[in-house]
């Protein structure tokens, strides 16, 4: 049975993605940093789909912990087919008030964590049976991050997410020969988003967890085995 690690899967988008994977037959590693009880509840819910689960704690902004997390997920199931990088803090505020700590924090959680986990996962995925699907990596981005425009109130966050897209493309090109695909799903305003500027969304509504998880599942499907280095925006036309 294939297995998957979803970072930040105790709550919100990460939880929705992990449960969708469990529903589709993946053994799942629930990752958390501080939300232990919530992670245990997610694992219990995932187990109702008759899959194996494990609950793992790590601060993925630390390279040693991120690397250990990936290895533990692999060891729990004997393989690691899927990595979904969902962790990523958000900051919005006046540029003149942006502190060094906030700046580095956006890069630590949104970009560095992706680099650490991917670099640890790729060697493990290279050993998968190439006659099957191979390894799949999906990184969660941000709708519009590839548009190089001024965003002074969320500059650190958006720069980090633009970095996720560029890194994902580079990794996709490097690992295509090893049958590992790397893609990005970039949500706009989703049902649990902190800010919900409905008036700015062309479709005049927020996106749903189901719409987001469907995009992730597409990249994991047999139909997407020739799709890599792609950024799929789930945004209702927002930030185009």
Question: What is the domain-level CATH number for residue 196?
Answer: 3.40.50.720
Q: Is the pLDDT of residue 131 over 60?
A: no
31-49 pLDDT tens trace: 999 999 999 999 999 999 9
**pLDDT higher than threshold 90 for residue 132:** no
Q: Which residues are catalytic?
A: 157
- Give yes or no for residue 113 having a pLDDT over 90: yes
In a domain, residue 106? The reply is yes
Range 148-153 average pLDDT: 92
User: What is the count of structural domains for the chain?
Assistant: 1
Distance CA 106, CA 110 (A): 6
User: For residue 127, is pLDDT > 80?
Assistant: no
Tell me whether residue 240 is in a domain.
no
Report pTM. Answer: 0.95
Is residue 176 assigned to a domain?
yes
Split at pLDDT 50, 70, 90, the class of 133 is: confident
Q: Identify whether 124 is part of a domain.
A: yes
Burial label for 159, CB within 10 Å (0-12, 13-18, 19+), is middle
Confidence band, pLDDT 50/70/90 cuts, at residue 96: very high
Q: How confident is the model at residue 171 (pLDDT cuts 50, 70, 90)?
A: very high
Q: Contact, 88 vs 94, CB < 8 A?
A: no
Rounded average pLDDT over 102-121: 98
For residue 141, tell me if it sits in a domain.
Answer: yes
Q: What is the pLDDT of residues 174-217, one digit of tens each?
A: 999 999 999 999 999 998 877 788 999 999 999 999 999 999 99
Whole domain around residue 43: which residue ranges?
3-234
Q: Is the pLDDT of residue 129 over 90?
A: no
State what percent of residues in the chain have pLDDT above 90.
Answer: 91
Task: Confirm if 184 and 138 have CB atoms less than 8 A apart.
Answer: yes
Q: Does pLDDT of 154 surpass 60?
A: yes
Q: How far apart are CA 77 and CA 80, in angstroms?
A: 7
53-62, 82-91, 126-135, 155-164: which has the minimum mean pLDDT? 126-135
Reduce the secondary structure of 18-78 to three states and give it as a string: HHHHHHCCCEEEEEECCCHHHHHHHHHHHHCCCCCEEEEECCCCCHHHHHHHHHHHHHHHC
Provide CB contacts within 8 A for 34, sequence distance 6+: none
Average pLDDT over residues 50-76: 98
The verdict on residue 239 lying in a domain is no
Q: Please, are residues 166 and 145 in contact by the beta-carbon 8 Å criterion?
A: no
């Amino acid at each position: 049975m294939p297995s998957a690690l979803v970072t930040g899967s105790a709550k919100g988008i990460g939880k929705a993605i992990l449960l969708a994977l469990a529903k589709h037959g993946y053994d799942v590693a629930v990752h958390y940093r501080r939300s232990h009880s919530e992670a245990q509840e997610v694992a219990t819910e995932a187990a109702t789909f008759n899959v194996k689960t494990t609950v793992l704690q790590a601060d993925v902004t630390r390279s040693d912990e991120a690397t250990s997390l990936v290895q533990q997920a692999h060891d729990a199931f004997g393989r690691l087919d899927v990595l979904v990088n969902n962790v990523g803090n958000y900051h919005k505020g006046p540029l003149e008030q942006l502190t060094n700590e906030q700046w580095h924090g956006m890069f630590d959680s949104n970009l560095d964590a992706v680099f650490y986990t991917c670099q640890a996962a790729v060697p493990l995925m290279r050993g998968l049976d190439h006659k099957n699907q191979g390894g799949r990596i999906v990184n969660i981005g941000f709708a519009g991050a590839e548009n190089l425009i001024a965003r002074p109130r969320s500059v650190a966050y958006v720069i980090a997410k633009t970095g996720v897209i560029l890194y994902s493309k580079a990794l996709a090109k490097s690992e295509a020969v090893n049958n590992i695909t790397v893609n990005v799903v970039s949500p706009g305003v989703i049902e649990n988003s902190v800010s919900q500027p409905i008036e700015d969304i062309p479709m005049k509504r927020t996106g749903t967890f189901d719409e987001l998880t469907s995009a992730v599942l597409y990249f994991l499907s047999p139909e997407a085995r020739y799709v890599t280095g792609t950024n799929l925006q789930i945004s209702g036309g927002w930030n185009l």
